[in-house]
A and B are shown apart, each in its own frame.
Chain A
């Protein structure tokens, strides 16, 4: 797949003279993928100038808007990312949107290297009847809502007209959502949860949550820390059917070679057998339901247009290869009544103009981070264009996964610089940062610098301290941009 140009000797002499001209890199997206990429580029090239752009005024991507409020230790990595953004050869430009503030082709003209790390801001769809009913939400939107993302403000989920929520999916995001719905709100009150969400949760009538997976407990996609945590919530009844825990020989094979799934299975087994039932009104309950595939969403008869339940088809597992089983419908159906459904079945990336895209996989076609012109076997390399993070690999992994992902992409960039693959773009003098600043100025785009972010940060922490929270998030575009305009009254 890689195209090696046979101009090595010529390239070496060019690259020697070019060493005085700094390599100008633009990273689109300031989440883990973008920040790790920027860090590694800065380290690898003593002359590199790296600009990180983000459509939000706040940096750090999902570390700020995805990681649950009751997981503050996972957010500690922002300290490292802040140091990257504050590096003398790095600049953060918030409130700059790829596609509207600046186009991809413009960025490629301004910089020698452009790395797209803007993640996945859309959802996979089930494509089943009733998906548009009121009360059927994507977990992504719900997470944005409780994390104070400015685009999640208007979700307004109705948690007062039902006592039951169904969550489709059993990954860590599904567990996060379940935990936020079931955790005593007194515990959430001292986190950085958005205050509009806390207020809604305090009035929530939801007491029963179903976490539904298509396959069995041996295939559950969550990880041990999160599972352990949800099983340990105070005064929460856990319900797991023991019959679901019977392992087939294929399951046993899968578990034998997979430490994560083995430990998850053990935790679920213990939870199924050792939980005493709590009695009492308002008792909160979490059901782990396996082998159920959503077939359709049912509409309420009293409240038209609103969801009243989910019809599931029971499944069995079928082997499709070594260590891989899929869920196959059996033709038997079962309903779970509920007033709200949260789909946690995966995120999806959004393409931009001029960007090759693999719509089937929901990623940008690439070879170890080098963007390819299409998904065919004869695709060409898009010179100077690279990709990292979820946009490259699909929406899986943890923060640290991007560390290795960035290593691979940066490695490809450095290789291409060495081998002369980038020669035509690096030979030209590129305007880089100054060019972008001028363009944004001409377009009246109000750039939010890292210093400006620090004003937002200070203000959030100041507001939080009077409420016994680590921060009170500014959850609207207006509040965020206003805080950047504030004087240096609160700056440290």
Chain B
């Protein structure tokens, strides 16, 4: 009985995850009416600071994950994990990231210089981060085709590269270290600099 429930829960979680990440992003790509209406949303956000990403107030729903849908209760919302960002000069910054928030949003909220040209809609590679420890990289779900398409274009791409807008804080990522690409110029496995357009 217990086994069936937990299996059902896992299926439910994977469906919820699929719905919140996969289908949404494929909607973003197709350029159909839903996306066309999205654009005004982004444009209407008021911003007071040049470098802060307060547009992410509306962007929150792009980073929903299963954590918000589990049966574990509301206390999940207040839990945070520790994430260390290492900038291109090697300087480290330890921040607390609420479960369910994307690394891109967390970076912006903490004044970390991670670009986000397309504001999390999988249309650029500027939020490229490198997961410094392979064990943490392996804990992440495989990137979708859409993410891989964008990673193709990322500068300084490595074996453990991911897009910051697609890495969502979960309890098992507590302690993860993320490097901003210029910091690891020497580590780039695929040294080829892409020149498409």
Contacts and interface: CB of A to CB of B under 8 A. Distances in A.
Contact of B197 (A39, A71, A398, A461): A398
A469 B36 CA distance: 7
Contacts of A191: 31, 36
B146 A72 contact: no
Contacts of A69: 31
Given A224-B149, A257-B190, A187 B31 contact: yes
Interface in A36-57: 39, 42-43
B91 interface: no
Interface in B92-148: 115, 117-119, 121-126, 145-146, 148
A470 B42 CA distance: 12
Interface stretch (B1-9, B13-21, B43-51, B74-82): B43-51
B117 A400 contact: yes
Contact of A400 (B37, B43, B122, B125): B125
Contacts of B43: 79
Contacts of B33: 190, 468
A187 B36 CA distance: 11
B47 A73 contact: no
Interface string B65-91: 000000000000000000000000000
B168 interface: no
A252 interface: no
B152 interface: yes
A321 to B, nearest CB: 15
Given A80-B117, A191-B36, A470-B39, A399 B124 contact: yes
Given A75-B39, A76-B123, A395 B197 contact: yes
B118 to A, nearest CB: 5
Interface stretch (A258-266, A311-319, A335-343, A360-368): A258-266
Contacts of B145: 224, 228
B50 A84 contact: yes
B29 A229 contact: yes
A225 interface: yes
A206 B49 CA distance: 49
A87 B29 CA distance: 31
Contact of B122 (A72, A73, A396, A404): A73
Interface string A74-99: 11110110011001000000000000
A73 B32 contact: no
A137 interface: no
Nearest to A88: B50
B144 to A, nearest CB: 11
Nearest to A390: B197
B192 A400 contact: no
A351 interface: no
Contacts of B192: 257-259
Size category of the binding interface on chain B = 35 or more
Nearest to B155: A404
B197 A172 contact: yes
Interface string B32-66: 11011111101101010011000100000000000
Contacts of B38: 72
Interface in A450-473: 461, 468-470
B124 A222 contact: no
A173 B197 contact: yes
A117 to B, nearest CB: 16
A403 interface: yes
Contacts of B126: 400, 403
A223 B118 contact: no
A440 interface: no
- Residue with the highest number of chain A CB atoms closer than 10 Å, among B40, B117, B155: B117
Nearest to A75: B39
A70 interface: yes
B50 A87 contact: yes
A221 interface: yes
A397 interface: yes
A22 interface: no
A390 B43 CA distance: 27
A385 B28 CA distance: 40
Contacts of A470: 36-37, 39-40
B150 interface: yes
A171 interface: yes
Contact of B195 (A190, A229, A397): A397
B194 interface: yes
Given A72-B35, A77-B124, A400-B126, 17 more contacts: A73-B35, A76-B39, A76-B42, A190-B33, A223-B194, A225-B29, A225-B149, A229-B29, A258-B190, A259-B190, A259-B192, A260-B153, A260-B196, A396-B195, A398-B196, A400-B125, A401-B195
Interface of A: 39, 42-43, 69-77, 79-80, 83-84, 87, 171-173, 187, 190-191, 221-225, 228-229, 257-260, 263, 395-401, 403-404, 461, 468-470
24 contacts: A39-B50, A42-B50, A43-B51, A73-B118, A73-B123, A74-B124, A76-B117, A171-B196, A173-B197, A221-B196, A223-B152, A224-B152, A225-B29, A225-B146, A258-B192, A259-B157, A260-B152, A260-B196, A398-B153, A398-B197, A400-B124, A403-B126, A470-B37, A470-B40
Interface of B: 28-29, 31-33, 35-40, 42-43, 45, 47, 50-51, 55, 115, 117-119, 121-126, 145-146, 148-150, 152-153, 155, 157, 190, 192, 194-197
| In the A-B complex, the 8 residue pairs with the closest CB atoms | A73-B123, A70-B31, A73-B121, A77-B117, A224-B149, A225-B149, A396-B195, A223-B196
